[in-house]
Amino acid sequence: MLFKILLGFLCGVSAAATDNITAQQGPPPLLLVSFDGFRADYLQRFPMPNLKLLYSQGVLVEQLTNVFITKTYPNHYSLVTGLYAESHGIVSSNMYDPVTHKHFHVPNDTDPMWWSEAQPLWITALDSGYKTAAMMWPGSEVIIGNRTATHFSPYNVHVTFQQRLRNVTNWILGNGKEEGVKFAALYWEEPDRSGHIFGPDNTTAMGKALKEVDDNIGLLMSELKRTGLWGRINILITSDHGMAQCSAERLIRLDNCLHPDNYTLVDLTPVAALIPKNNTEAVFNTLRKCHPNMTAYLKNTIPDCLHYRNNERIQPIILVADEGWTIVQRGDKLPRLGDHGYDNSLPSMHPFLAATGPSFRQGYQISSLQSLDVYPLMCHLLSVPPRPNNGTLTQARCLLAAETCWDAPMVIGLVVGVLLVLTAITVLFRFLSVRRRLGPRPFQRLQVDYDDDDPLLE
């Protein structure tokens, strides 16, 4: 207990010192970049010289455990709110709201009703007096609480990465009339687009897509150096989810189990969302036995670990396909060779995180982090009070240069070692005390009474 108190005190002192420095100098600008569908193990499978150069000067989180469902919209909103999908309300890419009877479909639903259950960082940072920007990040053109980011651009797939980057750097730099932004978020569609078309196991196609991604990271570094921002800005590069290989031999056909007249389909694969038209229990019992590679859940039985139950937009029945399996209503057509949305415990669904800048350590790596922890980390970097969230700064703090972090196994080993030493000292002290009490007595002459009848004297 004493050791925990001392450790907490030291961390608190370190955090207070960091906060004081930040208050005096003001935080560096922060740029968050997402490359959609960048599966964590792509870093090992494909050459990424620019990305590796970037995190060699900063930090790398090898795998981020993202939120369920592992789709683009839910996870991008989780990154900038720190909330599970059930908490921020963007529970899928296709939704039905039973209160308003509205339907949501990507890519461009800007009705604030869907997005206003949470407040993204580009809104929260405005309250700290900062200007913010969002370049085509999901939800960034939505008016939330009558506000948007200071600068934003409506989504347009035809705008190149170079054009998006140029706008973002100009916003960060500001001009003579307007102060630069402190927080900016930048989105790019690859390698997700190629992953869907070719599948992550297509080495040739994915190698080409990831070379383009790495070239864009090189362009990012060059642009920041050209504008003088490199070394004066904190950069986070991450993604929303990974990608799994699919096959026409791994199809789950709902019509083989249940006639479509029995339900309304809200979302399809790999997590299908259904609204039964009549008997919910009967529909569920039929779907529960539909296919060995698909798990059916009533809404109130969805496992706690998925954090995907407490929202009206989560439908009465959801069906979750096993990794690499695809749910269709009928037929033999495979929609995509690669897909995502599966259980967020699967490594194939995990993205990564790389970061560099004046606030980060250099050449430091950790194996894993929760994607929800990115939000409190960004708030800390900006000295922005975070909104209520499901993340924590406990582990993410270790990525920062100004923080003193103890590696958990090292701490455990140190504590065990100290306890063993103290135990040994205690045992030795007690042993010596007993020896002292049982030590040699003062010399006494032995008294012997002679008996004349003793036969030994005869």
* pLDDT attached to residue 415: 67
Average pLDDT for the chain: 90
Per-residue pLDDT at 453 exceeds 60: no
* pLDDT attached to residue 379: 98
Distance CA 378, CA 30 (A): 8
* pLDDT attached to residue 2: 41
- DSSP structure class, residue 360: B
Per-residue pLDDT at 441 exceeds 70: no
Per-residue pLDDT at 148 exceeds 50: yes
Tell me which H or E stretch contains 327. strand 326-328
**What are the structural domains, with CATH classification, of the chain?**
11-243+343-408 (3.40.720.10), 251-335 (3.30.1360.180)
Are the C-beta atoms of residues 258 and 283 closer than 8 Å to each other? yes
Which 3 state secondary structure label does DSSP give 256? helix
In angstroms, the Cα distances linking 141 to 109, 138, 148, 344 are: 10, 8, 7, 27
Least confident of 67-71, 170-174, 285-289, 436-440: 436-440
Per-residue pLDDT at 426 exceeds 90: no
Instruction: Say whether 423 is catalytic.
Output: no
Per-residue pLDDT at 407 exceeds 60: no
| Cβ-Cβ contacts under 8 Å for 64 (sequence gap 6 or more) | 40, 238, 239, 350, 351, 352, 353, 368, 369, 370, 371, 374
Distance CA 345, CA 347 (A): 6
Distance CA 382, CA 270 (A): 37
Q: Residue range 115-124: average pLDDT? A: 98
Catalytic member of 65, 72, 81, 326: 72
Distance CA 322, CA 343 (A): 8
pLDDT tens digits along 181-190: 999 999 999 9
Per-residue pLDDT at 349 exceeds 60: yes
Are the C-beta atoms of residues 135 and 153 closer than 8 Å to each other? yes
* pLDDT attached to residue 21: 33
* pLDDT attached to residue 110: 93
pLDDT tens digits along 287-315: 999 999 999 999 999 999 999 999 999 99
pTM of the model: 0.85
Higher pLDDT: 457 or 311? It is 311
Per-residue pLDDT at 452 exceeds 70: no
Per-residue pLDDT at 414 exceeds 90: no
> What are the strands, taking DSSP E only, across 98-217?
102-105, 132-135, 151-153, 183-188
| Cβ-Cβ contacts under 8 Å for 169 (sequence gap 6 or more) | 223, 224, 227, 229
Read off the tokens for 265: 């389909």
Distance CA 364, CA 429 (A): 44
In angstroms, the Cα distances linking 377 to 46, 162, 241, 373, 385 are: 28, 27, 19, 6, 11
* pLDDT attached to residue 370: 98
Measure CA of the first residue to CA of the last residue in the chain; give whole Å.
75
Which amino acid belongs to residue 23?
Answer: A
pLDDT tens digits along 368-387: 999 999 999 999 999 999 99
Q: Residue range 2-13: average pLDDT? A: 42
- Residue 388 has phi, psi (to 5 degrees) of -50, 135
* pLDDT attached to residue 440: 56
Read off the tokens for 70: 């592992």
Helix %, strand %, coil % for the chain, to 5?
40, 20, 40
pLDDT tens digits along 235-273: 999 999 999 999 999 999 999 999 999 999 999 999 999
pLDDT tens digits along 14-40: 444 334 333 335 899 999 999 999 999
Q: Residue range 160-185: average pLDDT? A: 96
Distance CA 304, CA 316 (A): 16
Which amino acid belongs to residue 274?
Answer: L
Distance CA 245, CA 414 (A): 44
Per-residue pLDDT at 447 exceeds 70: no
* pLDDT attached to residue 10: 39
Per-residue pLDDT at 457 exceeds 50: no
Least confident of 290-299, 311-320, 343-352, 433-442: 433-442
* pLDDT attached to residue 427: 74
* pLDDT attached to residue 317: 98
